């Protein structure tokens, strides 16, 4: 098993408060992070899980304009949806904060001022597109016009990229530019565009080029995709990067000449990990404890993200921390690839997604947790399919794991009045099954400690298959007629397997794990149980068997497929 530290701070990428959560978000960052935190606690480790809503920036401003409401209303709506969706899936944070808050604003401004005082921020004057009707500088994505490349010339090119030719675009050079904010508000959007000078502040990331390379060099254990992407950026050479914008919604730049400007959302959002950590420890009466995780390398600090956030967590945020000084860098950046849907890319704009809040209206959380772990995009993109989801639930959870659970508990109730029988017959098959309990706990733990969640789940299911095989080979339904000691011995071992299963299930299937422990009449998990002796004892009484994993029929699945094809 990979060496584990005694204390950990685990972060998951902040979801942007401008849309609902879909299965791609969950598979990318939140489920693996939650799985690992649950495992750490079962190993007896101290683990704090930090996340929150990313609530600043241009898209929220323009979403408010489009919907004729305030930015605060937009972020409140989606913050609440996030909170309920995470809770519904059993993804439990130590704190779930908000970046549009007084607390985060102060921490971010203090961070900016320190980096500025250290001389790692420079001010430059640039030319940007300005709308005289909106009386504001426009973010590139809210400008459209005709592509200026001579071999293209197509209309509908955005200020950051031309979809027709795929090239990066300089918004100030677009022909016949149109303000999409005006269009959004019912104005023509033409004749109001001009190019004006504006001043912004830039972070000198290039100063930390070699330090960042050394940082990546010291972590050969990171996932290949993260290392490959990070080295690619460093090989290209880092440049200074703008950290302020001309916007009204966000964290004000804390300088006298920074009026009407805010911190760029890419800069303030990762500071949220620090501000939320500080806020969390203050809330539990340990105001200085945050330093143990952000300043002390003896403790673990991990970031869980989707691959589209790799640049910010493996290069940009570490560069920010180096520029500030006094902070340690993360020990690992665990990034997953993308999750597709029925062979196509998930598209929020086209409503082509499996939304978490809608899923929870029709299904329980654990089948989704199981399926997303089973198809986890850890090394390459993977694909969510409703039929495959149905097959995994019915064939693996119901027929394999659920069947073994129900048979053992039901058998104990029916033939032993619910009283756990003794193991009077000690056979080689029984000894091997008991050894399998220890082997499974050890091997699943090793895989989880190495962030190999998909393989850990596969090993758990092989454990269940081996237990089913043991039950079938021992034929307690026959031995009960002639040798109740042999039958009771089989059931005793089966119930020990179930208790062990309830432990290794918990990181993946926490709701089902809790139900199984209630069925076994053993105490709820509190932490530290992974390697501890099992508590099942002869003479104690089990609870009533229940179906943990109902099968999904086509009438439940087909409407979900039809919704995608509308």
Any idea what the CATH number is for the domain that residue 154 is in? 2.170.220.10
For residues 109 and 125, membership in a common domain is answered with no
262 within domain boundaries: no
Residue 321's nearest CA partner among 422, 211, 450 is: 211
Looking at the structure of the chain, the number of domains it has is 3
501 within domain boundaries: yes
Which segments of 232-360 are extended strands (E)?
241-242, 244-245, 262-263, 300-306, 332-336, 339-341
For residues 489 and 400, membership in a common domain is answered with yes
Q: Give every residue of the chain whose pLDDT is below 50, as ranges.
A: none
pLDDT of the residue at 194: 95
Burial class (CB in 10 A: 0-12, 13-18, 19+), 427: middle
For residues 171 and 87, membership in a common domain is answered with no
405 within domain boundaries: yes
pLDDT of the residue at 488: 97
458 within domain boundaries: yes
For residues 23 and 63, membership in a common domain is answered with yes
For residues 42 and 104, membership in a common domain is answered with yes
For residues 135 and 149, membership in a common domain is answered with yes
For residues 94 and 128, membership in a common domain is answered with no
pLDDT of the residue at 1: 65
18 within domain boundaries: yes
58 within domain boundaries: yes
For residues 402 and 516, membership in a common domain is answered with yes
For residues 153 and 71, membership in a common domain is answered with no
Provide, for the chain, the percentages of residues in helix, strand and coil under a 3-state DSSP scheme, each rounded to the nearest 5.
Answer: 50, 15, 35
For residues 497 and 411, membership in a common domain is answered with yes
pLDDT of the residue at 434: 97
Identify the domain boundary among 505, 520, 535. Answer: 520
For residues 423 and 501, membership in a common domain is answered with yes
112 within domain boundaries: yes
Identify the domain boundary among 202, 225, 249. Answer: 202
- Torsional class of 329: left (φ above 0), alpha (ψ -120 to 50), beta (otherwise): beta
Domain enclosing residue 32, as ranges: 7-119+267-336
User: At a CB cut-off of 8 Å and minimum separation 6, what does 10 contact?
Assistant: 33, 36, 37, 40, 47, 48, 49, 50, 300, 302, 304
Whether 205 contacts 238, CB under 8 Å: yes
Separation between Cα atoms, residue 153 and residue 254, nearest integer Å: 42
DSSP string, 9-67: EEEEPPPBTTS--BHHHIIIIIHHHHHHHHHHHHTT-EEEEEEEEB--SHHHHHHHHHT
Identify the domain boundary among 163, 185, 202. Answer: 202
Question: What SS3 state is found at 329?
Answer: coil
pLDDT of the residue at 446: 98
pLDDT of the residue at 426: 92
The pTM of this model reads 0.95
CATH for 320: 3.40.50.620
- Residue 419 DSSP label: B
For residues 392 and 505, membership in a common domain is answered with yes
Phi, psi of 377 (to 5 degrees): -80, 60
69 within domain boundaries: yes
């Amino acid at each position: 098993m990979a060496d584990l530290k005694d204390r950990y701070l685990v972060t998951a990428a902040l979801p942007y408060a401008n849309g609902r959560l879909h299965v791609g978000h969950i598979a990318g960052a939140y489920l693996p992070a939650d799985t690992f935190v649950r495992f750490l606690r079962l190993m007896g480790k101290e683990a704090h899980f930090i996340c929150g809503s990313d609530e600043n920036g241009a898209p929220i401003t323009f979403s408010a304009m489009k919907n004729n409401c305030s930015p605060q209303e937009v972020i409140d709506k989606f913050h609440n949806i996030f909170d309920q969706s995470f809770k519904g899936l059993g993804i439990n944070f130590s704190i779930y904060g908000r970046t549009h808050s007084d607390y985060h604003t102060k921490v971010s401004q203090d961070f900016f001022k320190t980096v500025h005082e250290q001389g790692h921020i420079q001010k430059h004057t640039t030319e940007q597109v300005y709308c005289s009707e909106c009386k504001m500088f426009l973010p590139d994505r809210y400008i459209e016009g005709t592509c200026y490349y001579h071999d293209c010339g197509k209309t509908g090119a955005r200020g950051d990229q031309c979809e027709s030719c795929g090239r990066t675009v300089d918004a100030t050079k677009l022909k016949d530019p149109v303000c999409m904010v005006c269009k959004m508000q019912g104005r023509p959007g033409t004749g109001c565009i001009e190019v004006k000078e504006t001043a912004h502040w830039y972070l000198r990331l290039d100063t930390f080029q070699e330090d960042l390379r050394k940082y990546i060099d010291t972590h050969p254990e990171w996932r290949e995709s993260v290392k490959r992407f990070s080295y690619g950026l460093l090989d290209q050479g880092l440049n200074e990067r703008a950290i302020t914008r001309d916007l009204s919604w966000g964290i004000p730049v804390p300088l006298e000449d920074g009026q009407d400007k805010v911190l760029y959302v890419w800069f303030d959002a990762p500071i949220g990990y620090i501000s939320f950590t500080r806020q969390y420890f203050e809330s539990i009466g340990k105001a200085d404890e945050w330093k143990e995780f952000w300043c002390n390398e003896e403790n673990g600090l991990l970031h869980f993200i989707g691959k589209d956030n790799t640049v910010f967590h493996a290069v940009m945020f570490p560069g920010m921390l180096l520029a500030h000084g006094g902070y340690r860098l993360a020990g690992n950046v665990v990034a997953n690839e993308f999750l597709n849907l029925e062979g196509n890319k998930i598209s929020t704009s086209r409503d082509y997604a499996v939304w978490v809040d809608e899923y929870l209206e029709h299904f329980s959380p654990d089948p989704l947790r199981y399926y997303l772990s089973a198809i986890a995009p850890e090394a390459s993109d993977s694909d969510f399919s409703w039929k495959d989801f149905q097959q995994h639930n019915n064939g693996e959870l119901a027929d394999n794991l659920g069947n073994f659970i129900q048979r053992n508990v039901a058998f104990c109730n029916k033939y032993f009045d619910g009283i756990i029988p003794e193991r009077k017959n000690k056979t080689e098959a029984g000894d091997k099954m008991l050894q399998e309990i220890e082997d499974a706990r050890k091997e699943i733990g090793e895989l989880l400690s190495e962030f190999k969640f998909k393989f850990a789940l596969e090993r758990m299911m092989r454990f269940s298959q081996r237990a089913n095989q043991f039950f079938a080979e021992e034929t307690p339904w026959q031995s009960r007629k002639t040798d109740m000691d042999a039958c009771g011995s089989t059931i005793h071992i089966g119930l020990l397997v179930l208790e062990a299963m309830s432990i290794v299930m918990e990181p993946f299937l926490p709701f089902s794990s809790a139900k199984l422990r209630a069925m076994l009449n053993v105490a709820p998990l509190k932490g530290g149980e992974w390697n501890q002796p099992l508590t099942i004892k002869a003479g104690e009484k089990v609870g009533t068997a229940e179906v943990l994993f109902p099968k999904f029929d086509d009438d439940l699945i087909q409407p979900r497929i039809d919704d995608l094809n509308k």
